[in-house]
Amino acid sequence: MTATQLREQLAVKAAELGFDAFGVTSAVSAPDDRDRLFQWLASGCHASMSWMARNADRRADLQLVLPGAKSVISVAMNYYHPQTHNECCGDLKVSRYAWGDDYHNIVGAKLEELRSALDDLIPGSDSLTYVDTGPVMEKAIAERAGLGWIGKNACLITRDFGSWVFLGEIITTAELPIDQPHTDFCGSCSRCIDACPTDAFPEPYVLDAGKCISYATIEHRGDIPEELSAHFDGWIFGCDICQDVCPWNKFARVSDEQSFAPRTGCLCPPGDFWSSLTPEEFRSEFANSPVLRTKAEGLARNIRSQTADPLPIAVRSVRANVRLLSDTSEHE
C-alpha cells in the first residue's frame, strides 16, 4: 500500500469517527511559526500563562516533543449548535464551546481511535496525540495542514464551518503525504478587532491575553480589575464576541456531535438560575464540563463582577465550599 493510500484510509477513518476536517503537515516546524511565538511571548501577551514561556522551545520544535517525528495529522470537529447565548445562558453568558461536554474528552477519545488505526496501518510507527493539552501550536499546524487559516481574531477559521471547531493532532514518526497550507481569507475585514470591547487585539492576528475576556474569566487567578470587567457585558465564562461577528461564521453548520449541544439545565434557565446556584448544583450541572476549568471560586468571582448584588447568597455559599468543589475539577 502506498503512502497516499494510507493517508486516504486515515482520512476515511477520521470521517467515520466524526471529524469534519483532516489534513497532514510536516513535523518540521516552520521558522515563521517559531518567530511569531517568541515575539508574542516577548511582548508579554501571554499574561500570567507562564507555562507557555516555559514550554516555548518544545512548542516551536516538534522534534523535542517526539524525536524522529515526520508528520502531523491535524483534525477538526465542528461544535456549533444554533441556540443563542441569551437562550442558553440568560443575561450571564457562557462561551458556546462550553455549553456541552468537555471537548478534551470527546475529541481526545476519537483521536485515540484514529491513532490506533494509524498503528494498525503502519506497524512500528510511534505517535502522540494532543487536544489543546500540550506544548503544540495547534492552530499553526492546522493552517499548514490546510484545514483553515488563523484569522485576525487569532482563531482558526475554516471555509466550511467558520471558527466553531475543536482541533486535535497526532504527531507521528510515520511519513505521510502533506497538504498545502491554507490561504488567508480575512482580507480587509476588521469586524473582530472593532467589536472587541476590551481592545484585546493590539494589531491584526495578535491577541493580548491580559485584555481578553476569555483569559480573564477562565485562566486568570485573583481579582479582575474593575476597569476590565466593566466591559464584560455579562460574560462569566469565555467570550464569543470576535467569533459572533466574523462573516465566515455565516457558514456554520449544526454539529452532528450531540455531546456539544447545550445542557438542559443551561437552556432557557429561570431568571434566578445563576444567583441561586448551590455548590451541589455546580457539581452536578458542570460535571464533565469545560466550566470546571475556572473552578468554583473563579465562577463565583465572574458572577460577582457582572451582578448588581455584590455577593449573592449562592455565591457566598459557593465561596464557602471552594475546597469541596475544587476537588471535583478535572483540569488544573
Task: Give catalytic residues, as residue numbers.
Answer: 132
Burial class from Cβ neighbours inside 10 Å (0-12, 13-18, 19+) for residue 293 reads buried
Q: Is the dihedral of CA 324, 325, 326, 327 positive or negative?
A: positive
Distances (CA, A) of 115 to 119, 178, 201, 277: 6, 17, 36, 40
Which residue is it, cell 477538526?
76
Kindly state the greatest CA–CA separation across the chain.
66
Identify the burial level of 84 via C-beta atoms within 10 angstroms of its C-beta, where 0-12 means exposed, 13-18 middle and 19 or more buried.
exposed
Tell me the one-letter amino acid at 77. M
Report the relative pairing of strands 127-130 and 149-150 from DSSP bridges: unpaired
Residue 86: HSE in the Cβ half-sphere, 13 Å Cα cutoff: 1
| Distance (Å, whole) CA 319 – CA 324 | 10
Here the cell at position 187 is: 482580507
Provide the residue count of the chain.
Answer: 332
DSSP state string for 29-66? --HHHHHHHHHHHHTTTTTT-HHHHHTHHHHH-GGGTS
Residues 6+ apart with CB under 8 A from 109: none
**Angle at alpha carbon of residue 31, lines to 155 and 139, rounded to 5°:** 20
